[in-house]
Structure 1
Amino acid sequence: MTTHPFQPYSVAMITPFSQQGAVDQASVRQMVNYYTYNQVPALLVSGSTGEQHSLTLEERIFLYQSVKDAAPGSMPLYAGVATVRTRDAVRLAREAEQTGLSAIMLGFPPYVRPNQREAALYVQEVCSATSLPLMLYNNPLRTGFNLEMETLFRLVKEFPQIIALKEAGNPDRIKEIKAELGTDFQVLSGFDLAIADYFDKGYDGLTSVAGNLFPLEFLKIIQLLREGNSVQAHHELGKLRESLELLGSIGWIRVIRHLFASHGIAAGYFREPLSPLTTEEQTAVQGIRLST
């Protein structure tokens, strides 16, 4: 286990379902082969893009094992373990470690809007249950909860295994976080379109949704940003902007499922309320090609 397992670029994979609605193990292997072929350095398993909150605990554990079995041994795998109940997050963290995943991404419980003390207790319980490196995920728009910096600082000092933050809230607080926690503490983004600007604000990398469809393009963009070539990175991102805005407006999970299926990757079945693309939406995305 490396000290800092979180890669500057990883992809948040979708979860493939069978026509009967079960997690599709055969499709998991097919998808992982696609990611590996396209040089994706690391995968986030069962995050928001993986529809974690539509999965039962048993399905998420099965997914951890399925991805682990399919992935190259050298590929870092991050387990999304966010749940509404603390005891469930604790169980998932233990299962992720037992399965041999590399690290954990811990988002905060959605909808229930815990206070700072309750959120800290949630993190403390999970950290106490596993020795895996951990990345906290602050996404106020999705959860209704915002992790205050004082809470973050206290948790990192109490649990040194917290070595990263995925910040989808206020990007302007990253420099203060870095000043307090040091440059080795990694801060990652999930906003593909803004990643070049976010590097200027102190971000270290990206867990990408668009990387499902543009894996090599985002690999190049992150490499350019890490080399300090912001001008070229902005240029490369600009070439994708129109497509990214279109696909985001339709809905990333829906679009990824459709385009994977249209390119022979069996991931096209949906869990309601998400739905297949309309005829008009299919027409709009028909020009998108995967690097298969």
Structure 2
Amino acid sequence: MLKETFHIAVPTAFFEDESVNIQGTIDHIRDLYKQGVKSVLVSGSTGEQHSLNLKEKIEIINSLVLEEELINNMEILFGVSSIRQKEAEELAKKIRTTKISGILLGYPPYVLPTQEEALVYTKTIINLSNKPTILYNNPKRTGFNLSVNSIIQLSKIELVVGLKEAGNKEKVGLLKNNINRSNFHFYAGGEVELEEKVLEGFDRLSSIAGNISPMEISQWFNKMLTKKNITQQERVKIETIIQQVYQGSPLVYLKKSINQKRIPMGICRSPIGNI
């Protein structure tokens, strides 16, 4: 199952014509690996997942599996979601045969499946991928909110190892009282209100700011989990990083910062980055 308490949701690199720059994406992952990062999420939480079509996602996977040092020494997670279940199924089948460590399973945006339809969707994708699965509930972006009862039901599946909850953070306390598994984890999406989320029961982090300050964010989060003292100097440093990343579009800031390291992260797909 998934061991790392901290992974970084990496952006996808694009050329100036907005086509995928797979090598630029891998260059960034390799740079994080050299800095000591042990886990990344590809095609996931940076808001680009639904701009990538199935062919592009499969091309990224094909390139990742050729990176033996990375695939053998990191927990590489891959975001699986699609407005069409059939495409998510194809992606899951592709991932099944690889050394990708696990999947982040999101829900189709806009179409608003019922809870029953979402359960069928979830179980189908999990069975096809046969990988440890983090459920991803993000009602603000998708319009769909996975219910407490649905999460409890899905938590009984051994391959379901956690929930990334971007909706109501208070939901986690209720879930912890109803999910009797020590190996089920709650992932915070990004660093905003992270200390409050840890107090609510979140015990893992899907990091955004870690793309530019991986060790600082990792150490800060681990101190929270272990209830160690965070110095005022550390707080000021982290607050500065978070303010820089989240003051506008995080993706635009991340790509600008990564490009400055001479890693070809390129641009965002419009309308992100229009300003």
Contact 1:221/1:233, CA 8 A, preserved across alignment: no
SS in 1 for 2:36: coil
Contact 1:97/1:130, CA 8 A, preserved across alignment: yes
Pick one of 22, 31, 34 that aligns with 2:31: 34
**1:35-90 superposed Cα distances (whole Å, 9 cap, x missing partner):** 11221120101013161111110101111232333325120011101111111111
Go from structure 1 to structure 2 and tell me whether the alpha carbon gap of 1:29 and 1:246 turns closer, same or farther (over 3 Å shift): closer
Go from structure 1 to structure 2 and tell me whether the alpha carbon gap of 1:119 and 1:238 turns closer, same or farther (over 3 Å shift): farther
Name the CA distance, whole Å, in 2 between partners of 1:81 and 1:258. Answer: 26
Q: Partner of 2:122 in structure 1?
A: 123
Go from structure 1 to structure 2 and tell me whether the alpha carbon gap of 1:214 and 1:186 turns closer, same or farther (over 3 Å shift): same
How many Å apart are 1:156 and its aligned residue?
A: 2.2
Contact 2:190/2:209, CA 8 A, preserved across alignment: no
Q: Partner of 2:140 in structure 1?
A: 141
SS in 1 for 2:267: coil
Contact 2:2/2:161, CA 8 A, preserved across alignment: no
Q: Partner of 2:58 in structure 1?
A: 61
Pick one of 46, 50, 67 that aligns with 1:49: 46
How many Å apart are 1:235 and its aligned residue?
A: 6.3
Mark the runs of 5 or more structure 2 residues left unpaired by the alignment.
Answer: none
Pairwise CA RMSD:
1.9
How many Å apart are 1:169 and its aligned residue?
A: 1.1
SS in 2 for 1:79: strand
Residue 220 (structure 1) aligned with residue 219 (structure 2)? yes
How many Å apart are 1:243 and its aligned residue?
A: 3.8
Q: Partner of 2:6 in structure 1?
A: 9
Contact 1:32/1:67, CA 8 A, preserved across alignment: no
One-letter amino acid of the counterpart of residue 124, structure 2: E
Contact 1:28/1:66, CA 8 A, preserved across alignment: no
**1:230-263 superposed Cα distances (whole Å, 9 cap, x missing partner):** x417863443224423431311111111111122
Go from structure 1 to structure 2 and tell me whether the alpha carbon gap of 1:15 and 1:35 turns closer, same or farther (over 3 Å shift): same
Q: Partner of 1:88 in structure 2?
A: 87
SS in 2 for 1:119: helix
Contact 1:225/1:233, CA 8 A, preserved across alignment: no
SS in 2 for 1:137: strand
Name the CA distance, whole Å, in 1 between partners of 2:268 and 2:217. Answer: 26
**1:191-221 superposed Cα distances (whole Å, 9 cap, x missing partner):** 3132222111111110001111111111111
Name the CA distance, whole Å, in 2 between partners of 1:152 and 1:50. Answer: 23
Name the CA distance, whole Å, in 2 between partners of 1:215 and 1:177. Answer: 29
Q: Partner of 1:267 in structure 2?
A: 265
